[in-house]
Amino acid sequence: MSISSETYARLLGLADQAPIECLQLSSRTLSRAKTLGYNQIGQIRSTPTSRLIGDLGEDRAEELHRALFDFGMRQPGTAD
């Protein structure tokens, strides 16, 4: 089933408002992200990878990216 780009953009907008607790993250990554002010999925999606690595470290940044992928979210700038 295919959806229009407009519908997909609306769904992303809704998902971006969801709390990061919706993602399957380790308690350590979740706690650290929240301490740094990352509370919504959209904040993670809109933050450059280099910034996430600087804030959280490479392993936790990768965990966040995997969790977004598993949640059905594509990162900005990735190929379809």
pLDDT digit string (tens) for 29-52?
A: 999 999 999 999 999 999 999 999
Range of the domain at 64: 21-70
Q: Has residue 79 got a pLDDT over 50?
A: no
In a domain, 39, yes or no: yes
**Number of residues assigned to the chain:** 80
Q: Please count the structural domains in the chain.
A: 1
Q: Is there a domain that residue 80 lies in?
A: no
Place of tokens 């910034």: 51
For residue 15, being part of any structural domain is answered with no
Is residue 65 within 8 Å of residue 75, measured between CB atoms? yes
Is 57 a domain residue? yes
Confirm whether 52 is domain-assigned. yes
- Residue 53: inside a domain: yes
Asked whether residue 46 is domain-assigned, the answer is: yes
Instruction: Enumerate residues 6+ apart whose C-beta is below 8 A from 36.
Output: 55, 56
As a whole-number percent, the residues of the chain with pLDDT over 70 amount to 90
